Amino acid sequence: MPATVKVKICEARNLPIMDRGGETTDAFVEVRLANNVFKTEVCRRTLDPKWDSDWFKFDVKDIELQEDPLQIRIMDYDTYSSHDAIGKIYVDLTNMLVSENRSSYTGWLPIYDTLLGIRGQLRIEIRLITFCVDMKSFWHPSQNVLFFASSLFPTGFHVKRIIGLVDHVIVADDPEHQWLIDKLRTPRSTNEARQLLFMKMSGELRRKIGGKVVDLGGNAVIALQQRIDLGNMGIILRVIGTAVVIEKMRTEFTVGETVLDTANRSSVSPVDRRRLAKVDIVPGLAPKIKDTTLRDGHESTNEYGNKVPGFDGIPENGHDDMTKFYLGSSQESDPPEGRTTSSAEFPFLTIKHFPNGLIKSLGGTVSCKLVKTLERVEQDDINQAPYALWWKEVRSEVFRLMKSIGCNAVIGYTEDVTLTDMGNIQLLCASGTAAVLDITLAVNDSTTEASWSTTLAKDNISKEQSTLQYPEMVGVSVTCNTFHSPSGIYTEHAAPTSSLCSVCRTGSVPDMLLLTIEPFTGMPIKGTGTLIQARVAVRRNRTFKGENGARELSEALPFVEFELHSQISTKLRLLGLNVVFGLKVDIKCGSEVIVALATGTGLYVTALPKPARLTVFSEKQSAAEPLDLQGKLDGLIEQQMRQLGLTDEKEDLKSGRPSRLLKQTPGHGKRRKTTGSRQYSKAGFIIDLEDDSSGSKDLLSLVDYLPSKETLLFGSEVCPIQDRLRQLRHAEYSLTGRPEVPFELQNFCRVWRSNLLNEQDELMDILPVFKTLLKDIVFRARVYRPCRICGLEFRISVTSDEELLVLAIGSILPEPVPLYGPAGPLKALLEIKRPQRQNNGRSGVSGSDENSDATTFPRFATDGASASAHLGETLHRDSLAASSTGVSLSKHGIMAGSRHRISPPRLPHLMTNNTLLSEAPFRHPSHVEISSLSFAHASTIKRYVGNLNLVILRECQTLREVEGPSGFIQLALSDVYAMVRAQALASGGNMILSFHVAQLQIADSYNQAQCIIYVSGDMVEAEDSMSFTESEA
């Protein structure tokens, strides 16, 4: 009997009316965990019942605790008929298992019904009590494994060792497809059965993967990626993550202290420092990371296999400041020490953010696609299910590719599955960045840099002090080594061309790099990055069905990938960029159509050669058109490069060329893509115009949408912005005074669906679709201008009816001032706003309203003098004007104009001593910030309170009443957001990091719709690192 869960049902509010006649509800609550059920009394005739029940005690086994969610059902009591369900609440108890969080779980949780959405809230209190002091002998060790969704080393923890990839797949029957039973039960109970199954499977998956991690000697999984695949073969849940050994920093950890600590340490004598490290083992164990001057990547790569150090994180051997990144692999001969237990099968890391210096060299993206067909998998032989084997196959191939370009690890690794033909054809995709990681990162005490974890923290602090609030790349130590090719000799998998590094002139670098990881500090960059997106849609003649369909699909894939690649490289050239960070490739297929999307942040890294100029070439010698196009193109490139801050250095475009190596292979010169309009060649990039001149149109349509200067788009979480630009801005701050940094972050989720085939059954052009979507997002973000949109991620899915569903998620971070451009943009901004304000005073607001404003106003100014009334009136008008220029009042509430340096207009009634209205705190304590980024941009993380892992089903049988599928999805998603926020609050957090609506599936017909939403993230407790400006006012 390892644990007792105690549950108390306190009260509910805003319950729906269940008894039409009396307009009331007789509510009671049923609490269930595993097989035990408790019920509360019936609270009669009220919509806000109060139970204040006793503590319901559940004695549970550890497996039950991990796999079974606590189910709370709120019911309406009926004397004669059966009780009606109001809704349910599921509580995942696993987060409470992790020792630091074993406090109580309490808060208002939304009562959710799969058909009707949120119906009121219930306040509960849950406590977990464990009896065993000696945890190891009684507890399943996997209970103590921490899970993080963030793809970085979590703040507040020391990463002692990275183990490698862990994965697990489980399969189960889908209750939705058990049609025999399905006929008999209501949609509600089917949905609930499904939802419960998802929760249980998630729990099981966590338990299994936790066991694996423990077996490998780890104690945490970071960058956890969980996916659900639904087909007629059942439900497949799979998860991958990076197993690591982490250690929590002192519990009273705050960022300020740590920095103080490191500062102190540098001032005390070496002896003291050592003692400090011994006494306070935790800081001593901090992984020290060498920031610069690594040996050249070329030499080190040969040794990576057996350079495994002979210590494993225990400080006895004197190296108490060492970190071991041990990356083993099954194919490798085991290291001499024979520490097989601590090596994961593959040296793949799902982490995307890396500390400076850990990456020695980057080899580029490696990926593997595998098409498999499947007959139905029986429930019994889940263990014989081919999935695990398939993935092994894919990973082995990725591993082989990685080796072939001389790397020792794959970082930023992701896996994805596309199902078609009802799940009988599965396309498995795996991709990552091959890299050479520094396995032995040994650093002596004299380095100023503290541990990685504290570096992160320090970053936050320093940013707090400066005016910029966002973790940006800081190009402190310009190092180019990372970009040198990992080995001198290319294989056929490597980039077609390479040249000498333009920073050090010694290493050889590729022309272009595609990376799945996030930008890291210490890169030699120039200008600003921007979103790069390639989109391909291909229609095949045969449907992807059965064995032949699978063959068809696998034949089509290389062409799709090639087209993607060539689009990306063209776009990079058009913008004068040469590296893509945070590349995400999504390939999905319907029954005939393959849609592929690649998104990332393009960047100009100075180590790599400048992209060659695009030249237009036509076989016909009528020179007018190519010349014309060339001119247009040059102008466009020039303009875009200027916008990105790439042009101010007066450097000849061609200067990169002389350094080109001679040994490069002609590479893809011969290969042509399907339309044959572009080719690679050594001399540069040539666009071959075809006779029908569709090439020119094609090319210009490739030009990506570069939003206006006040909005920046990034595909990655980290925004690479050159130092110089930031300094420029700092200079501007010092001129104009420190601007109010808007403390806010907007997380958005854009869902768009349409048929890929038009009425004539032709495949529609998807380029404008995505362009419009991007424009749309920029348009929505206009109220936050100047701002940047980070972590913009597009996920697509294609149904068998060729319906394309696009899910775009990202975070909008407002900027105090426009990001680039010389000083004075503020003035321009204000000037733009002013005429607008004048002309819309009348247009938007009807005359009657204006009248009412004028007349209501004076009454309210009763207690003041008439002079103050006048002042108030102008303020009122101001705020009205601001609201009608489209500046949202909702963001800051009333503080609409603050961004424009107008004194914040307030509604007059808030300025009075009207106690009722003004007593309320400005920022609600129950406000939960949601960020799709892995880090907090303007606040410091105090602690992680749990991992968010939620599958929510929603069904609607009256689609017309909710304004069609759009209304339905809006309802479903906003309910999900609400539930996620409530869960974070109940766990004691106030922010969700790396929040992702990871999956969204919609099925609808006539008047019915159903959707499954899977969300994940990390719940944290964060602290505002800056006081909220309005609260002072």
Partner 1 sequence: MDVVDVFITNRCYFDMKIYQLWLDGEREEGICKTTLAMEQMEDTPQSKQIVNSYVSDQLRTFHLLEKCLHSPPELINNPVFQMTDACRIFLLEKYYSFDRHYVRTLLGRKYSHRARRSFEEECQKMGIKQNSCYRQYENIRRISKAVVPMFGPSAKNIQTSFFLPESLCWDYACILFLSVQRIDLPGARLADLTFDDLAHCSTDLMKGWTLGSPQGAMVQKLPMDSAAVNQEGISDLRIDKDFLYSMKEFRFLLERDTMESLKRSVIQTLSGRGTGFSPSQELLRDLCRNLLIMALNLHHSKQLKIIFTDVMEKIVSPLKTAAWSRDDVSAFLSAFMNRAQDLNEFKSRDARLSGMWRRFYTAFNSCVLRLFRDNAVAPANSSLAPAATTLPKK
Q: Give the footprint of partner 1 on residues 755-774 (CB under 8 A).
A: 755, 768, 772
User: What is the DSSP track for 788-803?
Assistant: EEEEEEEEEEE-TT-E
Q: Which is nearer to partner 1, 741 or 823 (CB)?
A: 741
The correct pick among 855, 867, 1027, 1032 for binding partner 1 (CB under 8 A) is 855
Which position among 970, 1007, 1026, 1033 is part of the footprint of partner 1 (CB under 8 A)? 970
Q: Does 843 bind partner 1 (CB under 8 A)?
A: yes
Task: Burial-class residue 18 by CB neighbours within 10 Å (0-12, 13-18, 19+).
Answer: buried
Q: Which residue has the tokens 């009608």?
A: 884
Q: How far apart are CA 952 and CA 949, in angstroms?
A: 10
Binding part of the chain for partner 1, among 92-100, 129-137, 496-504, 849-857 by CB under 8 A, reads: 849-857
From candidates 256, 488, 631, 964, binder to partner 1 by CB under 8 A: 964
Closer residue to partner 1 in complex, CB, 538/1003: 1003
CA distances from 86 to 20, 75, 649, 819, 856 (A): 14, 5, 66, 50, 43
| 3-state helix, strand and coil shares in percent for the chain, rounded to the nearest 5 | 30, 30, 35
Return the range that interacts with partner 1 (CB under 8 A); candidates 247-255, 394-402, 672-680, 1002-1010: 1002-1010
Task: Give the separation between CA 233 and CA 373, rounded to whole angstroms.
Answer: 12
In sequence order, what are the beta bridge partners of 617?
688
Site membership for partner 1, residue 622 (CB under 8 A): no
Among 866, 867, 925, 1027, binds partner 1 (CB under 8 A): 866
Residue 965 in contact with partner 1, rule: CB under 8 A = yes
| 700 touches partner 1 (CB under 8 A) | no
Residue 489: exposed, middle, or buried by beta-carbon count in 10 A (0-12, 13-18, 19+)? exposed
Out of 928, 945, 1019, 1020, point to the residue binding partner 1 (CB under 8 A): 928
CA distance 37 to 941: 38
CA distances from 185 to 35, 85, 86, 175 (A): 21, 15, 17, 11
Which of these segments, 65-73, 392-400, 473-481, 973-981, binds partner 1 (CB under 8 A)? 973-981
For 582, half-sphere exposure in the C-beta direction (CA atoms, 13 angstrom radius) is: 29
Residues 418-447 that bind partner 1 (CB under 8 A): none
> Should residue 189 be labelled a site residue for partner 1 when binding is judged by CB under 8 A?
no
Q: Which of 43, 327, 473, 971 binds partner 1 (CB under 8 A)?
A: 971
CA distance 577 to 601: 10
CA–CA dist 577, 442 (Å, integer): 34
Give the residue with the Cβ less far from partner 1, 462 or 772: 772
219 binds partner 1 (CB under 8 A): no
Count how many Cα atoms sit within 13 Å of the Cα of residue 669 in the half-sphere of its side chain. 9
Q: Which of 967, 1021, 1024, 1029 binds partner 1 (CB under 8 A)?
A: 967
Residues 6+ apart with CB under 8 A from 1024: 743, 938, 939
Among 924, 925, 1027, 1032, binds partner 1 (CB under 8 A): 924
The minimum distance between CB 541 and partner 1, in angstroms, equals 24
834 binds partner 1 (CB under 8 A): no
Segment contacting partner 1 (CB under 8 A): 304-312, 730-738, 814-822, 909-917?
A: 909-917
Task: Closer to partner 1 by CB, 425 or 928: give it.
Answer: 928
Q: For residue 15, which of 60, 58, 50 has the smallest C-alpha distance?
A: 50
Residue 851 CB, nearest approach to partner 1 (Å): 7
Stretch of 1-9, 371-379, 534-542, 998-1006 lying at the interface with partner 1 (CB under 8 A): 998-1006
Q: Choose among 418, 387, 392, 409: nearest CA to 560.
A: 418
Q: Which stretch binds partner 1 (CB under 8 A): 299-307, 427-435, 536-544, 743-751?
A: 743-751
Q: What SS3 state is found at 956?
A: strand
With CB under 8 A as the contact rule, which of the stretches 282-290, 490-498, 607-615, 746-754 interacts with partner 1? 746-754
Q: At 972, phi and psi to the nearest 5? A: -60, -45
Give the whole-angstrom CA distance, residue 158 versus residue 287. 7
Query: Which residues in the 879-908 window bind partner 1 by CB under 8 A?
Result: 883-884, 886, 888-895, 907-908
Q: Which is nearer to partner 1, 20 or 505 (CB)?
A: 20
The piece of 22-30, 149-157, 661-669, 924-932 that touches partner 1 (CB under 8 A) is: 924-932
- What three-state secondary structure class fits 554? helix
846 binds partner 1 (CB under 8 A): yes
Q: Is 938 in the site for partner 1 (CB under 8 A)?
A: no
Q: Which residues contact 691 (CB under 8 A, 6 or more apart)?
A: 619, 620
541: which residues sit within 8 A by CB, 6+ positions away?
A: 592
149 binds partner 1 (CB under 8 A): no
Q: Which is nearer to partner 1, 383 or 855 (CB)?
A: 855
Is 269 or 913 the residue whose CB approaches partner 1 more closely?
913
Q: Where are the alpha helices (DSSP H) in 117-254?
A: 135-138, 179-184, 187-215
Q: Does 474 bind partner 1 (CB under 8 A)?
A: no
Nearer to partner 1, 20 or 924 (CB): 924
Among 186, 836, 957, 1031, binds partner 1 (CB under 8 A): 836
Shortest distance in whole angstroms from residue 968 CB to partner 1:
8
Residues 104-123 that bind partner 1 (CB under 8 A): 108, 110, 118, 121
Site for partner 1 in 73-92 (CB under 8 A): none
Is 87 buried (19+), middle (13-18) or exposed (0-12) by CB count in 10 A? buried
| Closest distance of CB 99 from partner 1, Å | 29
Nearer to partner 1, 251 or 862 (CB): 862
Among 54, 100, 303, 776, binds partner 1 (CB under 8 A): 776
Minimal distance, residue 879 CB to partner 1, in Å: 9
What's the CA dihedral at 558, 561, 562, 567 to 10 degrees? 160
Q: How far apart are CA 883 and CA 889, in angstroms?
A: 6
11-70 residues in contact with partner 1 (CB under 8 A) are 13-14
Size of the site for partner 1 (CB under 8 A): 97
Q: Where are the alpha helices (DSSP H) in 366-467?
A: 386-404, 452-465
Type of residue found at 992: I
Q: Given candidates 966, 1026, 1031, 1033, which one binds partner 1 under the rule CB under 8 A? A: 966
Q: Tell which one of 176, 321, 1004, 1018 touches partner 1 (CB under 8 A).
A: 1004
| Interface pick for partner 1 out of 219, 566, 746, 1016 (rule CB under 8 A) | 746
Stretch that binds partner 1, among 187-195, 333-341, 354-362, 912-920 (CB under 8 A): 912-920
* Of residues 778-817, those binding partner 1 (CB under 8 A): 779-780, 782-783, 801, 803, 805
Distance CA 345, CA 392 (A): 9
Q: Are 165 and 140 in contact (CB under 8 A)?
A: no
Among 50, 8, 7, 6, smallest CA distance to 28 is for 50
List of residues 6+ apart from 978 with CB closer than 8 A: 110, 118
Question: Is 563 among the residues that bind partner 1 (CB under 8 A)?
Answer: no
As measured in angstroms, the least distance from the Cβ of 312 to partner 1 is: 42
313: which 2 tokens?
Answer: 């994180």
Shortest Cβ 83–partner 1 spacing (Å) = 24
* Sheet containing 440-441, strands listed edge to edge, beginning at the edge strand earlier in sequence: 146-147, 220-231, 234-248, 157-172, 323-325, 440-441
912 binding partner 1? (CB under 8 A): yes
In whole angstroms, the minimum distance from the beta carbon of 69 to partner 1 comes to: 20
Rg value, the chain, Cα: 30
Rounded-to-integer distance, Cα 366 and Cα 481, Å: 20
Q: Is the peptide bond before 786 cis (omega within 30 degrees of 0)?
A: yes
